[in-house]
A and B are shown apart, each in its own frame.
Chain A
Amino acid sequence: MKKLIVTAAFLITAIFVSPDLSGQCDSDGYSNACIPKLATGFNFLKSYKIDSESGAKDKIEFSYVFTKGTQYMINLCAGGTSTDGLVVSLYDSKRNKVATSKVNGEFISAIAYPCNATGIYYIQYTFDGPSAKCGGSALGFKR
């Protein structure tokens, strides 16, 4: 009985005091790691945390007003190989698809978008195939 309680105490301490050991998605770490990976000349605008919450969400979406004459870059960071099945797709204000990072079955880690039409754009993250469904992304701009 004593052993059981000691083990329980250890597990509870490990889970609560060290969240990183609990297998949670470190989307904060991935999004921070993505910022310096923006291509040269791009100014950082936003970082996005992508966490499917253990598969509960099949897509995560953010929005931002893009401006004509400005070039934007959205990149992806995740564990494992390539983008670990993480895909970013960009939609315009009428929900027309502008671009996706999955091209001919290949997972690309960044989209560059020279905007020619000002408006609200939707940045949608989805998960393709078996993966941790966890990652981060950064948005940058240049004129």
Chain B
Amino acid sequence: MKYVLAGVFVAILVACGSGKKTDEQAFLNSLDSANSVADAIDDELIKSVLQNIPSPIEISVLLKESGRKYDHSMLNSPENISKYNNNYKMALNLGVYGTDLGYTNIYQQNQDGIKYLEPIEQLAEGLNIGQFFEIETIGRLAANSKNLDSLLLLTTKNFNDINYYLSSQSRSNLSILLLTGGWLEAMHITCQLSVKDPKNKVLQDTIGEQQIILEQILILFDLYKHDENMAPLLADLTNLKSAFEKIKITTTYKAPTSEVVNGVVVVKDNSTTTVEITPEDVNNIKTITSEIRSKIIS
């Protein structure tokens, strides 16, 4: 009888101890004081806003499709990794390097892309989320340009898994920093290219449309305005928002139509948005973005 009850007890313990509990505990223990205010914050609100932020891969694809040439000099150097030694900097620069890796992948610059794998692995391990990066597989896929689809899929999925994990652990502040770092790097690349090609309306509009994303990011940062690590970046992003205030985005609504084609509902969007933005606006946004980025990567 005693043995049977003991068996039941052991079975429950085994069940509760299975999975990633050890990793989770290690992760929770590793977090620095930046998380101390998180408990008072509405995690559901954060999750709902976080999911709005688009992947920087979308911008990289747009740049390539619009004929922009690859330029690795715009990216953060992998050698800067030694500068990132706290969770705040690590999370931001994991986002920055993630965007840079995506950019090299889209342009199939595999030799450059491979250089980002080690710093990404180091930062992920520093944040105790290394288990989500399949670095060996990514490296193998990156070695062959025919594997682009698989490479993009895996890297996107790894970053999604990290964001989901961080949110589920009520440590969304790191997730916010990761996404913000990635977004700022994509902004930096787009602004650099737009300034070199001031007549390119697609690039200008893309920059103007980032007003919507910045508003979402500011909602998130505002929740952490009393956090000593995040408050200075909130001030910088608020300054960036002021540069967006001259830009006007107008949406004209017209009901959409749709039809089923080969088992897919294909929508015809009859609405449209127009972006009023000048090269001066772009230049102003570029300057502020570069200043913020410099603080992050240095």
Interface set of A (CB-CB < 8 Å, partner B): 1-2, 5-6, 8-9, 12-13, 15-17, 35, 39, 43-47, 62-65, 67-70, 73, 90, 92-94, 96, 98-101, 103, 106, 108-120, 141-143
Contact = CB atoms under 8 A, between A and B. Distances in A.
Contacts of A113: 267, 269
A118 B212 contact: yes
Contacts of B284: none
B212 A143 contact: no
Interface in B36-79: 48, 51-55, 57-58, 61-62, 65
Interface string B256-279: 101010011111111111000000
Contacts of A119: 212, 251, 273
Given A68-B273, A112-B266, A5 B256 contact: no
A103 B265 contact: yes
A37 to B, nearest CB: 11
Given A44-B157, A67-B58, A116-B269, A17 B11 contact: yes
Interface residues of B, number: 54
B263 A35 contact: no
B255 to A, nearest CB: 7
B18 to A, nearest CB: 7
B61 A143 contact: yes
Interface of B: 1, 4-5, 7-8, 11-12, 14-16, 18, 48, 51-55, 57-58, 61-62, 65, 149, 152-153, 156-157, 160, 202, 205-206, 209, 212-213, 216, 249, 251-253, 255-256, 258, 260, 263-273
A68 B160 contact: no
A73 to B, nearest CB: 8
Given A16-B11, A45-B55, A115-B269, A2 B249 contact: no
Nearest to B269: A116
Nearest to A41: B149
Contact of A100 (B55, B249, B265): B265
B211 to A, nearest CB: 10
Contacts of B65: 143
Nearest to A6: B4
A109 B269 contact: no
A68 B205 contact: yes
Contact of A64 (B14, B54, B152, B252): B54
A62 B15 contact: no
A101 B266 CA distance: 10
Given A94-B253, A119-B212, A108 B263 contact: yes
A142 to B, nearest CB: 8
A120 B209 contact: no
10 closest cross-chain pairs (CB), A and B: A16-B15, A13-B11, A116-B269, A117-B271, A9-B8, A143-B65, A117-B273, A110-B264, A111-B265, A99-B267
A73 B261 CA distance: 13
A13 B256 CA distance: 53
A15 B128 CA distance: 30
Contact of A46 (B16, B51, B266): B51
25 contacts: A2-B1, A12-B15, A13-B15, A16-B14, A17-B14, A17-B18, A43-B152, A45-B156, A46-B160, A70-B62, A98-B256, A98-B267, A99-B256, A99-B265, A108-B260, A109-B263, A111-B264, A111-B267, A115-B269, A116-B272, A117-B271, A117-B273, A119-B251, A120-B216, A143-B62
